[in-house]
Amino acid sequence: MIDRNQTCGIGQDSVPYMTCLIHILEGWFGVEQLEDYLNFANYLLWVFTPLILLILPYFTIFLLYLTIIFLHIYKRKNVLKEAYSHNLWDGARKTVATLWDGHAAVWHGYEVHGMEKIPEEGPALIIFYHGAIPIDFYYFMAKIFIHKGRTCRVVADHFVFKIPGFSLLLDVFCALHGPREKCVEILRSGHLLAISPGGVREALISDETYNIIWGNRKGFAQVAIDAKVPIIPMFTQNIREGFRSLGGTRLFRWLYEKFRYPFAPMYGGFPVKLRTYLDGWRSEDPHLTPMILQNQPKHLFTVKDPDQEAEVVII
């Protein structure tokens, strides 16, 4: 930072360093009144920065629609079917996963700690905290497919299935909206399943304090107990620093409770470091009940940071 009160000499005069620097730049670029241009650029920065912060979160939605367009093109290129003898969509999933994994690495330096908790085969229930935009879960699904060769079913809110153009994306990446019996059936069939007990309400209302908003929901715990599968808590550090929502205001909370649609605007999209942590519980514990799991979310999201010796409460 150059102090405007500091001076430098030009000829016989003594002028502030910033003015001196501007004179030098004017000579280099061959322009006059460079300070006026810089002041105008500074004004534009202050005007457009709020707009950029509001637009960046929706870039993620733009990427999702690009993914959907790719899937439609892929679907119509039947000649590619012969290249993937196991499943028509495996090639598409691998391509999409690679692209999203690249975006995760470049924009957020995304890391997953505890990937060994994900079984190579067999079922597991993944319970995750829902950010304003669950981009960390998209990255996580890409990591699982790349490193484990597995798809992860996910329970999505009903409104997601009503978004125009999303049906193919949800079908290819195995999203469902329940009910509990269907979740148990999927787990008993040997698949991975992810549930966010807080759902859209948690995405809208929670904030940078990472308060968990599960209400009275304990169906996820009953699913794990009925299916007798491991529970894998998942939490991503800085997901609220990357994207934030105005859903905690009274107006947008009322709108959500009234219409069950996330009308609240979001902002952010900052290139913050994202680290996803995984841990493991055993749902076969005879003392484990849905009420215990529901009432101990802080304990559920307490894991050991591999870079530290001590246990770290990440929420």
User: Which residues belong to the active site?
Assistant: 130
Q: Residue 302 burial (CB < 10 Å; 0-12/13-18/19+)? A: middle
Joined together, the tokens standing for residue 256 give: 């959500």
The answer for residues whose C-beta is within 8 angstroms of residue 304's C-beta and 6 or more apart is 279, 310, 311, 312
Q: Are 232 and 204 in contact (CB under 8 A)?
A: no
> What count of Cα atoms within 13 Å lies in the side-chain half-sphere of residue 63?
19
Residue type at position 99: L
Q: Are 233 and 289 in contact (CB under 8 A)?
A: no
Spell out the SS3 assignment of 8-34: EEECCEEEEHHHHHHHHHHHHHCCCCH
**Backbone region of residue 168 per phi and psi (left: phi > 0; alpha: psi in -120 to 50; beta: other values):** alpha
